[in-house]
Structure 1
Amino acid sequence: MGDDDAVSLDLSNYELTWPVSLFVSEGERIIASAGSSWADRAEWLMTEALSGSTAVADFSEMVNHHEVDPWGGTASGWGRSGPAVMTKHEWFSEVISRASEIRLAAAPRPYWPQRQARGLSTNGSTAHDAQRDFARIVGDFVDNGYLVEHFGEECVDDPNALPDASALIERRLGIPGLWPLAPETWDKDTFYGLIEVLHDLVSRPRMRRYHDYCSCGWHHSEFHNGPARILYRTKVNELLRAAGVQYELAAEGEDLGRLVAVTDDARSQLVHRALHDSPPDVTPDVRHAIALYRSRDASSESKRSAIFNLGRVLEERRALIKDQLGKDEGALFEIANRFDLRHRRADQRGEYDEAFLDWIFWWYLGTVELTNELIRAKSRAHG
Structure 2
Amino acid sequence: MGDDVPVSLDLSNYELLWPTSLFVSEGERILRSKGSWQDRATWLMTEALAGTTAVADFEDLPNHTAPIDDPWADPATSWGAKRAVMDQHDWFTELIMRAPELRHATAPRPYWPQRRGNGPAHDGSTARDTRRDFARLIGEFADSGYLVEAFGEECVDDHSELPDASAVIDRRLGIPNLWPLAPETWDEDTFYGLMEVFHDLVSRPRMRAFHSYGGCGWHHSEFHNGPARVLYRWKVNQLLREAGIEYELAAEGEDLGRLVTVTDDARSTLVHRALNDSAPDITTRIRHAIALFRGRDTSAESKRSAIVTLAGILEERRPLIKEQVGKADEGALFEIANRYNLRHRRADQHGDYDEAFMDWIFWWYLATVELTNQLISARSIT
Shorter-normalised TM-score: what interval? over 0.9
Deviations 1:258-277 (CA, angstroms, capped at 9, x unpaired): 00000011111110110001
Deviations along 1:3-32, whole A, 9 cap, x unmatched? 466132011110110000000000000000
- Which residue number corresponds to residue 342 of structure 2? 341
Match of 2:235 in 1: 235
Mapped pair 1:198 → 2:184: no
Match of 2:218 in 1: 218
Deviations 1:266-313 (A, max 9, x none): 111110110001111110111000000000010000000000110000
1:247–1:262 contact (8 Å) kept in structure 2: yes
Residue identity opposite 1:53 in structure 2: T
Q: For residues 45 and 355 of structure 1, what CA distance do their matches in structure 2 show?
A: 46
SS in 2 for 1:51: coil
The CA deviation at 1:120 is 2.4
Structure 2 counterparts to residues 167-206 of structure 1, below 5 A: 167-206=167-206
| 1-structure distance, mates of 2:376, 2:3 | 49
Counterpart of 1:65 in structure 2 is: 64
Which SS does the other structure have where 2:8 is aligned?
Answer: coil
| Structure 1 residues 83-122: aligned runs within 5 Å | 83-120=83-120
Question: 2:315 maps to what in 1?
Answer: 315
Task: State the alpha-carbon separation in 1 of the partners of residues 174 and 19 from structure 2.
Answer: 33
Query: Does 2:373 correspond to 1:363?
Result: no
- Spell out, residue by residue over 1:33-92, the C-alpha distance to the aligned partner (whole angstroms, 9 max, x if none): 111x11100000000000001110111111111479857689xxxxxxx93222211111
Q: Tell me if structure 1 keeps the 8 A contact 2:4–2:83.
A: no
Rounded to whole Å, the distance in 2 between the matches of 1:40 and 1:61 is: 14
CA distance in 1, matches of 2:117, 2:303: 42
Check conservation: 1:114, 1:121, Cα contact below 8 A: no
Match of 1:77 in 2: none
The answer (yes or no) to whether the contact 2:23–2:48 under 8 Å persists in 1 is yes
SS of 1:190's equivalent in the other structure is: helix
Residues 340 and 350 in structure 1, CA contact (< 8 A), matched pair in contact too: yes
CA distance in 2, matches of 1:15, 1:125: 32
> 5+ unaligned residues in a row in structure 1: which ranges?
75-81
CA offsets per residue over residues 286-344 of structure 1, 9 Å max, x none?
10000000000100000000001100000000011011123211111111110011111
Letter in 2 for 1:354: E
Say if 1:169 and 1:197, in contact at 8 Å, map to a contact too.
yes
Whole-Å separation in 1 of the counterparts to 2:239 and 2:48: 18
Point out the more displaced range, 83-92 or 297-306.
Answer: 83-92
**Residue 34 of structure 2: SS of its match in structure 1?**
coil
- Residues of 1 paired with 2:323 and 2:130: CA distance? 53
Q: Matches of 1:176 and 1:108 in 2, distance apart? A: 38
Superposed, which structure 2 residues align to 1:1-383 within 5 Å?
3=3, 6-35=6-35, 37-66=36-65, 70=74, 83-120=83-120, 126-328=126-328, 329-381=330-382
- Output the CA distance in 2 between the equivalents of 1:39 and 1:274: 41
TM-score normalized with structure 1 length: 0.93
1:274–1:368: 8 Å Cα contact kept in structure 2?
yes
Contact 1:339/1:350 (8 A) holds in 2: yes
> What is the rounded CA distance, in whole Å, between the counterparts of 1:318 and 1:71 in structure 2?
68
Evaluate the alpha carbon distance shift between residue 166 and residue 73 of structure 1 in structure 2; reply closer, same or farther with a 3 A threshold: closer
- Tell me the TM-score normalised to structure 2 length: 0.94
CA contact (8 A) 1:289 1:307 kept: yes
Is the Cα contact below 8 Å between 1:7 and 1:84 reproduced in 2?
Answer: no
How far, CA to CA, are the matches of 1:186 and 1:331 in structure 2?
49
Given that 1:155 and 1:216 are in contact with CA atoms closer than 8 Å, whether structure 2 keeps it comes out as yes
CA offsets per residue over residues 329-377 of structure 1, 9 Å max, x none? Answer: 1111111110011111121111110010100000000101111111011
Aligned partners of 1:314 and 1:9: how far apart in 2?
Answer: 54
Answer yes or no: is the 8 Å Cα contact 1:70–1:83 preserved in 2.
no
| SS state at 1:223 partner | strand
Sort the Cα spacing of 1:353 and 1:154 in 2 relative to 1 into closer, same or farther, 3 A: same
Give, in angstroms, the shift of residue 112 of structure 1.
Answer: 2.1
Structure 2 unaligned regions, length at least 5:
none
Percent identity, aligned pairs only, is: 72
In the other structure, the counterpart of 1:79 is none
Give a deviation string over 1:116-171, Cα, whole Å, max 9, x none.
3333269x981011000000100000000000001000000111121000011011
